[in-house]
Structures are given as C-alpha cells and as structure tokens.
Structure 1
C-alpha cells in the first residue's frame, strides 16, 4: 500500500509546495519542494516560513518510496540568505526550465516584501543557470504553473498578491519571453494554481486554504468553477487537515495529486498523494482510497504505471 504520509522532510520537517519531474539521466522521479524550516526556534513571527531552500527527494519505484537527496544550490544572485518558494519545473525534452518564487533575505513578516518569479535552466536538475526575473503584473507574484498550449507555445499562471490574490496568466513562444495576458481566475482569493488535462478537458485547481477549488475549461481561456476537493479530513495518518498547494501528474485516464497537510495544525507538514478521476463531468478525489500500485510510471513518462 502507498504509505501515509507519503513523505516528510528529514531535516526541517516542513515539506510544502511540491512539483514532480522525471529525471531523464537518473531515470527516477524527483520531488522538488519548499523546505520550510518547521523546526526553527519558536518565535512570534513568520521568519521560519522564509529563508527556505528547495528540497529534493527521489523515487525509483514510481513514487512509492522517496529518498531525501539534499537542496538545490546555485540559485543566489547576491550575497546573503534568501527565500525560495514553490518551484515549477518544465522539461522541453532537452532542457529543464524552473520558475521559482524568490524573496530577498529572511523577512519576519508577510508584508511588504516584494516577491518575484525567476527563471532558471538546467541540463540535469542539479546545475542551474539564472536566465531572467520575469516582468509580470506586479512585484508581488508567486506560485508559477506552466503548461504547453495545444496550438503551440506555453502559458504561465501565477498568483498576484497585489491584485486580490487572484490568478493571472502570461504567454510565451519559447519559455523565455513572457507577455502578460491579464487576470485568469478572480472568483476568490487563492494561491497555488495548477493546470492539467484529464478526461478530455482542461482543469485548474487553486488552494483556497479550505480545500482545492476545481475549475474547468475547454480552451484554457475561460474557467468554469466547480466544487472543492481535499476540503474534508482524510482518515489516514497525518491526513486530517485540508490539502494544500498541490501538483498533479496525469497517467492515461487517471492522475495523481500530490499535496501537503499541516497534520497538527502547527508548523510541520507532510506530503500526501491521492488519485484524481473524472466522473460524470466532475473531477473527483477520494483521499482515503487504498492505493496499492505505483503512483507514477516506473519507467518514466509514457510507460505503463
């Protein structure tokens, strides 16, 4: 059976904001995440949420077990300790592109510190080269999600905290130069957009902090809101809270959602996984479903799970 929780960071116990990417050279799945410093000395502020690295764990058995590998180095552009949140990694077949939220230093409050999304590239998921700080709709943007468009090119969705914490979108022909399109989802304050295609339809989930809001689209332009998933407590260990900031990997007619919980209502967090399915036109998720097989194709994308 799939272990519950799926993964906990062995250093700071604060694994959040996952992205899942296939490492072509190593032939394993990599889980890259915000490594919140949940075990930092207690203070009456939010400095423990800042000063975070990007943690890495790998799996050679289709996501059944994960081995902590360390943190990604070489992202700093200036002296000092900085904050890295919510990585998004896209593989164009030759190069890995990472879009990561960056805050200068280690703030002890949420505001008014600027947040920017930076673009890095890598040949191997280890050595990263800075390419640009994206010029988007404000200086308070986080939580990048990138997907290929059916007609060619790419679309970036992100949270703009200066615009009601809504999801905005930008387009690119080459993953380097981006053109802001404008607001994409404005039905609520939220974060962590994630877009994928399943059951012949495009889906977006966003974290409303009381579960994941589901939206659907036929063209990736107009989004129709549905209900919530991961809004009710699960019965497995460490899965009693809401499911937060998730990533989705599609495998055939099913998909796996990777999310995190705050099982004690405090700092520490645990990674969990569950199946997504489309039934009668609705996206469904039973977080208590027993999962006995690999979560992901053992041989990589395109292989049977």
Structure 2
C-alpha cells in the first residue's frame, strides 16, 4: 500500500522503473483530501494537485514517499491529473493533464455542460524522473482532454488514449510516429469511461478503463478494434484509475487507488470523503478475461519491466 503522508489523497498511480536508482517509482496525484476550503467540502480538493513520487527498492513490498516532482508548464500553483510515463531512447516522456490554477467548482455545471476550466494534455521529458522539461501542449481537438495513456502500436508508432469530457466522457486515440507530433485518429469507446490503461498479456493487448460501475476490460489483437470482456471485480472495494504493468507471461501488477474516508492512520477525515490510498494487486488470465487475485499483493520484479518502445 502506498500512502500520501502530506494530504492523504494519493490517486492516479503509474509505476515506472527508475534506471538511475535501480528502483521502482510510483508517480501519483497529490489530491488535497485533508484540506478544508471554508464551509462544506469543496471540489477544490481535486485541484491544486501536484505529482508526488514514492519509491521501492524491494519489489513493491515497502514504499518510501519522496516528495513532489516539478512540472514547469506554467508559473503559479496549478493542477495536474493522471500522469503517464514511457521510457524511450534514454529519456522519460510524461503525458499529464494540466488545469490552470486551482478552480473550486465542479467539472460540470447543473446542466451537464463542461466547466470553463480547460483540461489540457501536456508532454514533458526527463532523464531522471526528478527534473522535467516542458515540450508542448498536445492539440487534441478539445479543451477537455484528460487521462492520457501512451502505448506502442503493433503496426509501429505510438497511440495515446484519452478521455474527452466535452464529448460525453468517451475515449479517443491519437497517433504519433515519434511521441512529439500527435494527430487524433479515432473514437475508441463511445460511452463514459476514464483512466484507460493498455498492456500485453497472454498474446493479446488489453485495455482496462473505469466505467460508472467500476473497471471494465477489453481485448484486442491490434490495439484498434476492441472486444469487451466484462467487468473486473475486486471484492470489498471499487478500484479507481487502475493501471496495469505485466510482470510475467500470464500475470500482471495492477495499481489503483481506493477512497477510504480516513487518513493514513485510519482516523476519519471529517471534511472529506476523498481520502485515498494506492494498492497493488495481482491480475492473471482467467479464460477469456482477467481475474484479480483477492488478498494477493503483486510482487514487482527487481529489475525493469517493459513499458517502452521495444517490442
């Protein structure tokens, strides 16, 4: 389990192998769950969030909170959501949702229309996971793009899957040959989903995404057409923003966050139900789908696992 000892709001995890330290890192969103912004709980807890880091040198059995990484997109206090990182040609590439400033109103108004606070996906690079250089804002044909996930296409090049909040929360794909120039290619899922995560397992490409009823699973042979394989059940809680990293031919490590309503010590947080922790669980192939092994914590290999351009 990974906790945020500062704000008790660890969300949106992604696992990354730190080549310089030879250890696993979990980058996550620092949601300010224990912050009271006057009166009743406010949506502002989900904004003003930085990207935090925790590291593990023992295969994920224990984690050390390391602080926050600096993302130089704009001056001032801003909001970051849902980071994703790939390693390519000796460089880390981060794709992350950016919102200017710290809004304190919902993402949607009472008529279901998107708020005026634009959500943008930005590209940054780093050689060490600490020091980041801003590259660009991606032009994805919308001002409400969130939850990027980058994955190498079987046919070559790269795909970036994201949620468009201005088009019903549907999932879209953009394509690139070099990680720098992107063009929107197609709509992938027409109904509401968020937090897509792609991975290879058992000779297939899988996509997991969060639906209104919890995570659902899709399978593909080419990362273009997708076959629904049903929901993923994790008894006892609802996983949020699942992110999957294969650790064998038929099993994988899934990280996700779970809202607890308590702080890191189990004490109830009176101002918010958004306190959360990050958990690691093991996934395995089960027939034509995936199964979460209840009560089993996935053990990461003591080396790099692939989320890169090599296939």
TM-score (norm 2): 0.88
Which residue of the partner structure matches residue 170 of structure 2?
166
Map residues 1-305 of structure 1 onto 2, 5 A cutoff.
6-42=1-37, 43-78=40-75, 80-109=76-105, 110=107, 111-186=115-190, 188-230=191-233, 232-234=234-236, 241-253=237-249, 254-264=251-261, 266-286=273-293, 288-291=294-297, 295-301=299-305
Alignment RMSD (CA, Å):
1.5
> What number of residue pairs does the alignment pair up?
285
Q: Secondary structure at the match of 1:162?
A: helix
**CA deviation map 1:208-261 (0-9, x unaligned):** 14210111111111111121114x542xxxxxx310001111012210100011
Q: Using the alignment, how far apart are the partners of 1:84 and 1:33 within structure 2?
A: 10
Q: Cα distance, 1:273 vs. partner?
A: 1.3
> Conserved in 1, the CA contact under 8 Å of 2:153 and 2:222?
no
Q: Cα distance, 1:114 vs. partner?
A: 0.5
> Conserved in 2, the CA contact under 8 Å of 1:209 and 1:242?
no
Q: Using the alignment, how far apart are the partners of 1:48 and 1:257 within structure 2?
A: 25
Q: Secondary structure at the match of 2:7?
A: coil
Q: Using the alignment, how far apart are the partners of 1:58 and 1:93 within structure 2?
A: 23
Which residue of the partner structure matches residue 238 of structure 1?
none
Q: Secondary structure at the match of 1:89?
A: strand
Change (3 A) 1:146 1:69: same
Q: Secondary structure at the match of 1:30?
A: strand
**CA deviation map 1:129-154 (0-9, x unaligned):** 11100000311000000011122211
- Uncovered stretches (5+) of structure 1, i.e. residues with no partner: 1-5, 235-240
Q: Secondary structure at the match of 1:220?
A: coil
Q: Using the alignment, how far apart are the partners of 1:163 and 1:217 within structure 2?
A: 24
> Conserved in 2, the CA contact under 8 Å of 1:57 and 1:70?
yes
Q: Cα distance, 1:69 vs. partner?
A: 0.3
Q: Using the alignment, how far apart are the partners of 1:59 and 1:18 within structure 2?
A: 14
Q: Using the alignment, how far apart are the partners of 1:158 and 1:76 within structure 2?
A: 19
**CA deviation map 1:5-59 (0-9, x unaligned):** x111000000000011000011011100011001101544201110000010000
Which residue of the partner structure matches residue 3 of structure 1?
none
**CA deviation map 1:126-185 (0-9, x unaligned):** 111111000003110000000111222110000001111011001111000011102111
- Uncovered stretches (5+) of structure 2, i.e. residues with no partner: 108-114, 262-271, 307-311
Which residue of the partner structure matches residue 269 of structure 2?
none
Moved over 4 A (4+): none
